[in-house]
Structure 1
Amino acid sequence: MTRMSLTTRMSLMFMLAVTAVLTVAGLSFNNLSRHHFKMLDQQALNEKLHSTQRILTGMNSIDQFSEFKPELEALLGAHRDLTALIIDSDGKLLFADPGPMNVPEKFRTTPNNNVWEWRDQEQMYRGVTAQAIVAGQDKPLTVILVYDVTQHMSFFETLERWFWIGLVISALVSAALGWMVASSGLRPIRQVTEVAASMSAKSLKERIPLAPVPKELQNMVLSFNAMLARLDDAFVRLSNFSADIAHELRTPVSNLMTHTEVVLSRKRNIEDYEDNLYSNLDDLKRMGRMIDDMLFLAKSDNGLITHENKSIELLEIVEKLIEYYRLLADERGISLTVSGRGSVRGDVLMLHRAISNLLSNALRYTPEGQCINIDLQQKGMSTLIVVENPGATIAPEHLEKLFDRFYRVDPARREGSPSNAGLGLSITRSIVEAHEGKIWCTSSDGKTAFHIELPSIGMRAV
């Protein structure tokens, strides 16, 4: 089933709203007008009736009726649409102006001052029936006053007919106006759609201008532009990541090919073949570690990392790592110190790997004869791990990007040893985030520190 467009629905809603308002207003005006004219007719009939009753009750006997007849004619004959009938108790017509009228019997006995309505074919009448007491008469006279309101009713019927015609025209006009207003108001949405439809890897820099957008849609446009910025950033990072992967894998593959070609260029003794195989093995191990790291990051990106949830004493992990890196540190005269303690829940091997990556990174950039300090702090709901080392200050614009894959502060040179693929900090961040923590870096006054904040024991579900 095809759904109507938003413009069509808004136009129909606008048309229905206008039609409903006009219908209520028109019907209300019609009913109020009818009621107003009815009240005017009733007032006029009552005034004529009271005047007639006063004349009739002023007679001393029915014999004087002919003397008062001119006065009645003057009173009741002034209105051309009024018919007046006076009937005695025997049903004899005593007075009829402008002439006799065949009033239905049921209206001849209607209680005093009750206005009744009567339709005779195309004619519409509104009248009142009352009684008048005459001196010397045992039974009262019946006075019937009837207004011919056909002209009024014809006016209202014409008014209603034109009202419905006008309502149809107004509905069509309002639908057209609603379509124009909706189309104009939804133009920014069409712009968003056009930009979204034209999006490609080469046009992610395009943005929707905010100036012509209505206030109600500015948040949507801002969100869309922000989404484009995130997509652009993610695409650039993905492109760089792909290029970096190719670059990182090209070196060991080239080494393997070169070594193999050299060895196969002529016959060699067994020792040369063994040396080539050992060299190839080193490159294969490096490639294997890189592939494992990339698989780990891919699982992290898709939320597939699962880990144990055991109670861990961080001091024990740090002391083991210090013992492991002690020999490498002593060769360069670098000292390793640890202070404080803290406990968290998590996976021992994963946290061991995260802290090991930070220590390895610190050793790589710490000048000879300096000191690396690991500080553990238990702070209420969280535990803080700080690995601080002296060295060159990192510019602020690089701090947030240090955890990107293959990111280099100085892209013109390769940092670290050949075994360093530039994935260690990315893996560390993935491990920390898998433990519901956060990691950041600070660098100033010749000191760089990596901070890891993890929930303390009891703050994470077991």
Structure 2
Amino acid sequence: MKLVKGSITVRLVAMFAAAALATFALIGAALHGVLVRELERHQYEELDTTLKSLQYWIGAIGTADRWSRVQARMDALTPEDGSVRFWVLSDDPRFQYGKGLAELDGLTREANGRSSSILLPGQERPFRTLSVHIPPFEGRPAVRLIVGRNSEPYERTRKTFLSALLLLGLGGVLVVVLAGYWIARVGLRPLERLSGEAQALRPKTLSQRLQTTALPVELSALADAFNGALSRLEEAYGQLEAFNADVAHELRTPLANLIGSTQVALSRQRSAGDFEEVLQANLEDLERLRSIVNDMLFLARADRGEVATGLVLTPVALEVRKTIDFFEFVLDESRTQVGIAGDVQAEARLESALFRRAMSNLLQNAIEHSPPGAQITVTLREEPAATWIAVSNPGAAIDEAHLQHLFDRFYRVDAARNDGGGEHHGHGLGLAIVKAVASMHGGQVSASSEGGVNTFAFSVSRTG
């Protein structure tokens, strides 16, 4: 799997890296904050310890003669690098100690124990200080003791820790990126296998299916959905091949008749009457060809999503009666009767021409597949969103396996449709047109065969 823009591997690695960076940043910030607080606490604890020790000594000194001992002790506690320093502020110069006392005069106004930071000349980092007020004792006036510690060592420690933290964090992110890349590659191997299987599919191998064994749950669902799509594609491809064969067959017969009759007519001298008979026969075949072409064009428009226009709220029973009247001669000839039952007051928004076309196909199909003298029933049924029109006729039972395909183009079942000539002018598109008209009206179709009665129905939306 190549790393390309938008690839799953790149996205997963980027998300791993972002998650790791955010995690390490939060942990690093928390650790850095803890370190800073602990360093400050440590500094002030050391200052406080030293401050209290000297406070005890100074508090017990009451004369200038003994003050030299305090000075000697503070000299001894002052390291050579000057990282710790002491100051004693007093109105009496004999009880003062430390360098730069004038710069510290502002500290005398601070409360006992309050910390402050001062930057001494020649120093890069400030001193952190603690101070305490010591009351007068015997001949010694009140003094203020200040203890300071250079913050440079602590700041150096903080910087070293921060640098190490950054390096470790970046290293950790790099490790996570590499591990995430490996994990993504391993985790996506089943997807690569599925991709390879899908690429190997060809029109002649549509019966093959993706292997779903040992797949993760998420990919298994995807593979099942893809296999379902393959099944539908295989079925559609098979129907298309059968459809093409049926079209060729339906067109070949009238074309062969036209060519044959024309060749016979031209094979020798004919009278005008003979040519008139040939032309009359040819006209019938041409009408059949035109009917097939028109029906195919109509179905093509329906397949492209064309919907019925000019819808008018119409009593459905009225349109059904008009269609029945159109078949009056055929019904009288076959002694067949047609009755209307159900919700005879039902109304729906219809395009009358399309509706009558669908009704004509259903009635013609029922008449041709009913015995002479049969009773055909048109049942109307209102539902909240649609009105159903069902045409029932007595006839040979239709197997359940065929019912769902009867509205497909050129689909014929000998047991149900005699010799296949029952549908719209005998070319197998009548029920397909019914389905298209129902779809153009936002409806559906259905077929059933029970108790010697076959029922074909379609619905139209009541809302339009």
Instruction: Tell me if TM exceeds 0.5.
Output: yes
Tell me the equivalent position of 1:87: 88
Partner secondary structure for residue 205 of structure 1: coil
Aligned to 1:293: 295
Aligned-residue offset at 1:356: 0.9
Residue identity in the other structure for 2:67: F
Q: Deviations over 1:182-221 (max 9, x none)?
A: 3344445545654554554234334444445444455544
Of all paired residues, the percent bearing the same amino acid is: 28
Aligned to 2:387: 383
Q: Which residue of 2 aligns with 1:448?
A: 454
Letter in 1 for 2:439: E
How far has the Cα of 1:74 moved from its partner? 12
Give the C-alpha shift of residue 314 in structure 1.
2.9
CA distance in 1, matches of 2:52, 2:193: 76
* Unmatched runs of 5 consecutive residues or more in structure 2: none
Equivalent residue, structure 2, for 1:63: 65
Match of 2:113 in 1: 113
Cα distance in 2, alignment partners of residues 431 and 364 from structure 1: 21
1:314·1:344 contact (CA, 8 Å) conserved in 2?
A: yes
Cα distance in 1, alignment partners of residues 175 and 458 from structure 2: 66
Mapped to 1, the partners of 2:123 and 2:67 lie a distance apart of: 34
Structure 1 CA distance for aligned equivalents of residues 86 and 382 of structure 2: 109
Q: Given the alignment, which residue of 348, 353, 357 partners 2:357? A: 353
Give the whole-Å Cα distance in 2 for the aligned partners of 1:45 and 1:93: 25
1:289-316 deviations in whole A, cap 9, x for unaligned?
A: 0100000000111123543312333333
Matched, 1:415 2:417: no
Aligned-residue Cα RMSD (Å) equals: 3.5
CA shift digits 1:7-58 (9 cap, x unpaired):
2233223212211221221122122112112112212322331232233223
The one-letter code matched in structure 1 to 2:428 is G
Q: Deviations over 1:382-416 (max 9, x none)?
A: 33322111111111221111110001224998412
The equivalent of 1:168 in structure 2 is 170
Q: Secondary structure at the match of 2:339?
A: strand
Q: Is the 8 A contact 2:265 2:278 kept in 1?
A: yes
Question: Which moves more between the two structures, 85-94 or 143-152?
Answer: 85-94
Structure 2 match to 1:266: 268
The counterpart of 1:202, out of the listed 193, 201, 204, is 204
Query: Distance between the aligned counterparts of 1:438 and 1:76, measured in 2?
Result: 101
Code of the residue aligned with 1:447 in structure 2: it is V
- Name which of structure 1's ranges 356-365 and 86-95 shifts more when overlaid on structure 2: 86-95
Structure 1 gap segments, 5+ residues each: none
Counterpart residue type for residue 89 of structure 1 = S
Distance 1:357 1:417, change over 3 A: closer
Partner secondary structure for residue 311 of structure 1: strand
- Aligned-pair CA distance for 1:234: 2.2
The amino acid across from 1:130 in the alignment is: V
Whichever residue aligns with residue 115 of structure 1, its letter is S
Contact 2:63/2:140 (8 A) holds in 1:
no
Cα 1:328–1:67 change in 2 (3 A) is closer
**CA separation of 1:381/1:160 partners in 2, compared to 1, >3 Å: closer, same or farther?**
closer
Bigger drift between 286-295 and 378-387 goes to 378-387
Aligned with 1:34 (options 33, 36, 39): 36
Counting only pairs closer than 5 Å after superposition, residues 18-417 of structure 1 correspond to structure 2 as 18-66=20-68, 83=84, 85=86, 87=88, 89=90, 106-107=103-104, 109-110=106-107, 111=110, 112-117=112-117, 125-137=127-139, 139-147=141-149, 150-187=152-189, 190=192, 193-194=195-196, 197-217=199-219, 219-340=221-342, 341=344, 342-379=346-383, 381-410=385-414, 414-416=419-421
Does the 8 Å CA contact 2:308/2:351 hold for their aligned counterparts?
A: no
Whole-Å Cα distance in 1 between the matches of residues 127 and 60 of structure 2? 29
User: Is the CA contact 2:308–2:441 (under 8 Å) kept in the aligned structure 1?
Assistant: no
Q: Is contact 1:108-1:129 (8 Å) kept?
A: no
Alignment of 1:428-439 (within 5 A): 428-439=434-445
C-alpha separation between the residues in 2 aligned to 1:121 and 1:253? Answer: 110
Residues 62 and 136 of structure 1 are in contact (CA less than 8 Å); yes or no, is this contact kept in structure 2?
A: no
The structural deviation recorded for 1:444 is 1.5
Give deviations 1:288-344, integer Å, cap 9, x for gaps.
101000000001111235433123333333333333334434444433323352322
- Tell me the distance in 2 between the aligned counterparts of 1:433 and 1:88: 102
SS of the counterpart of 2:148? strand
Alpha-carbon distance between aligned partners in 1 of 2:14 and 2:104, rounded to the nearest angstrom:
50
Cα separation, partners in 2 of 1:286 and 1:83, compared to 1, 3 Å = closer
Contact 2:85 2:147 (C-alpha < 8 Å) held by counterparts:
yes
1:51-93 deviations in whole A, cap 9, x for unaligned?
32233223343333356778x5799589x99745353636868
What secondary structure does 2:145 align onto? Answer: strand
User: What's the secondary structure of 1:202's corresponding residue?
Assistant: helix
What is the DSSP-based 3-state SS (H/G/I as helix, E as strand, rest coil) of the residue aligned with 1:433?
Answer: helix
Native 8 Å contact 1:406 1:422 kept in 2 = yes
Cα deviation for residue 163 of structure 1 reads 1.6
Matching residue's letter, 1:237: Q
* Cα distance, 1:383–1:67 mapped onto 2, change above 3 Å: closer
C-alpha spacing 1:417/1:275, structure 2 compared with 1 (3 Å): farther
Alignment: residue pair count: 452
For residues 77 and 307 of structure 1, the distance between their equivalents in structure 2, rounded to whole angstroms, comes to 103
Matched-pair contact (CA < 8 Å) for 1:84–1:95: no
Q: Secondary structure at the match of 1:366?
A: coil
Which whole-Å CA distance do the structure 1 matches of 2:312 and 2:21 have between them? 69
Query: Cα 1:381–1:4, aligned 2, differ >3 Å: closer, same or farther?
Result: closer
Deviation by residue 1:352-382 (Cα, 9 ceiling, x = unmatched): 1111101111112112343211223345553
